[in-house]
Chains A and B, each alone.
Chain A
């Protein structure tokens, strides 16, 4: 395995379309729930321990060889909001496109055939990590980090927040990121033995509700 590949995959400039999504931050800013660095920190912490943990486990389980079709169905059951299911598949398709050009693999080709409209992004991320020679822990870190880096950089644009402050929010979350990645790998191993019901299903009501409110707006800066 090459640690360098992890940096390529986790880089915000990797052309997988993530910059067009705010991870729920745009809806939270509009509703007045995120107003600055402190509330952004609370937002990111909540997202990390819910959607972030679920995504990180899906990615880890995919690296460990769990059937991606089953993981995708389990992701659907953990994503009640249709707006979030659409966003996750759109992101999955864009990641697939970038990854097939970067780390060609028969597994990625097969998944792309199975899901022409895109599989849930964390499931694709897990298979991309496999194709890049990375491990379950790497994929879990990638997914967990993306769950907070997206909202943080979106909030810089939405609130004209100082980028130094946004980065400090992410840095302060680092110990919890470690915790979530550890849990995700542990749960991912359990999924290998016990099936997809062992996936965590931590939910965040306001991310789900906010995503539906956001999808109904006529004009928005971010796709989700």
Chain B
């Protein structure tokens, strides 16, 4: 019997290498969170997050920290979906993501879906600090339950500051034990895939993007700051990805 869960923190630092590329002076995986550098694209370094163990399981506490220093460009993806599972250890599991992008830096945070399995209880917290002239593309997708399965409990908070000002602070709570009405007509209405795409670009200050619908269950909106948010609901993860991909492509 495991009494406590796994604690693991993966760390990435991206830095301009002075030769038109991006170096990764820190690339530290930890236990279940392995990091692989993949082929760069132009000045952009690319990192793949690889799950080396299943989880997070109940009681686990995972964290990913990535700092993009001034002028550096980094893209982070993941090799597979993250699957929140119930565990032998009691209690909730946590997944904390902390990202920062300094002046003139650029980060694409594009992990695969998070799947909330029946019986799991996961708290995800994503905190992002973006400098005034920096750029960010961030995608989050949650799939509530495997095919035909009731979801676990999932609470996911996303907080984003641009130049020290909070432009987005939102938390979605769903699954058994979440506050009432989470699956009702004001919140999810039976949809089992929910996602957000956040794009921060300094030029949005001069050229604001107008709000528009992306089909019946998704909208692209300008936030109160140089950022655009797409919120989308879908019946499954594939359809959700299609909406978010099209939205990103439409922003150019």
Which A residues are within 8 Å of any B CB, using their own CB?
A: 24, 28, 31, 33-34, 39, 42-50, 53, 73-74, 76-78, 80-83, 85, 176, 196-197, 199-209, 212-213, 215-216
A82 touches B187 (CB 8 A): no
| Docked pose: A34 CA to B233 CA in angstroms | 18
Chain B interface residues (CB < 8 Å from chain A): 157, 159, 165-173, 179-182, 184-189, 194, 211-213, 216-219, 221-224, 229, 231, 233
Do A209 and B219 have beta carbons less than 8 Å apart?
yes
**B187 in contact with A176 (CB, 8 Å):** no
Known: A49-B180, A215-B211, A216-B213. A80 touches B185 (CB 8 A): no
Q: Are the CB atoms of A202 and B171 closer together than 8 Å? A: yes
A212 and B219 contacting across the interface, CB-CB below 8 Å = yes
User: How many contacts between A and B, using CB within 8 angstroms?
Assistant: 127
Q: Is the CB of B172 within 8 A of A203?
A: yes
Given A197-B166, A200-B171, are A212 and B221 neighbors across the interface (CB < 8 Å)? yes
Residue among A176, A196, A205 with the highest chain B CB neighbour number at 10 A: A205
Does A206 contact B189, Cβ atoms closer than 8 Å? yes
Bound-state CA distance A50–B171 (Å) is 9
Contact between B186 and A24, CB atoms less than 8 A apart: yes
Chain A to chain B contacts (Cβ below 8 Å), 28 pairs: A43-B185, A46-B180, A49-B182, A73-B165, A73-B166, A77-B168, A78-B169, A78-B170, A80-B170, A81-B219, A81-B221, A82-B222, A176-B180, A196-B166, A199-B169, A200-B171, A201-B159, A202-B172, A202-B179, A205-B194, A205-B231, A206-B188, A206-B233, A208-B231, A209-B213, A209-B218, A209-B219, A212-B212
**Pairwise interchain contact A39-B179, C-beta atoms closer than 8 A:** no
In the complex, the chain B residue whose C-beta lies closest to that of A207 is: B186
The main secondary structure of chain A at its interface with chain B is helix
Q: Are A201 and B186 in contact (CB under 8 A)?
A: no
Contact B167–A47 (Cβ < 8 Å): no
Q: Chain B interface mostly helix, strand, loop or mixed?
A: strand
CB-nearest residue of chain A to B185: A33
Q: Contacts of B216 on A, CB cut-off 8 Å?
A: 31, 213
CA distance A196 to B166 in the complex (A): 10
Nearest A residue (CB) for B190: A33
Closest B residue to A199 by beta carbon equals: B169
Q: Are A45 and B184 in contact (CB under 8 A)?
A: yes
Residues of A within 8 A of B212 (CB): 212
User: With A33-B189, A205-B231 as given contacts, are A46 and B182 in contact (CB-CB < 8 Å)?
Assistant: yes
CB-CB under 8 A from B168, the residues of chain A are 77, 80
User: Out of B157, B179, B222, B233, which one reaches A209, CB within 8 Å?
Assistant: B233
Are A42 and B219 also in contact (CB < 8 A) when A49-B179, A83-B211, A208-B231 are?
A: no
Query: In the complex, what distance in Å separates the CA atom of A24 from the CA atom of B181?
Result: 14
CB–CB B185/A39 < 8 A: yes
Q: Closest CB-CB distance, B244 to chain A, in whole Å?
A: 13
Contact across chains for A76 and B187 when beta carbons are under 8 A apart: no
A201 / chain B contacts, CB cutoff of 8 Å:
157, 159, 169-171
* Cα-based distance from A31 to B165 in the complex (angstroms): 35
The answer to whether B224 touches A204, judged by C-beta atoms less than 8 angstroms apart, is no
Q: Contact: A34 with B185, CB < 8 Å?
A: yes
Chain B residues near A202 (CB-CB < 8 A): 171-173, 179
Q: When chains A and B are docked, how far (Å) is the Cα of A81 from the Cα of B171?
A: 15
A44 to B173, CA, bound (A): 16
The verdict on A74 contacting B166 (CB below 8 Å), with A46-B180, A85-B224 known, is yes
| CB-based contact A42/B231 at 8 Å | no
Contact partners of A80 in chain B: CB under 8 A: 168, 170, 221, 223, 229, 231
Kindly list chain B residues whose C-beta atoms are within 8 Å of the C-beta of A83.
211
Q: Which residues of A contact B218 (CB under 8 A)?
A: 209
Residues of B with C-beta under 8 A to A203: 170-172
Q: Is the CB of A77 within 8 A of B169?
A: yes
The answer for the CA separation of A171 and B167 in the assembled complex, in Å, is 36
Residue of A nearest to B195 (CB): A205
Bound Cα distance from A77 to B198, whole angstroms = 13
B184, A42: Cβ atoms closer than 8 Å: yes
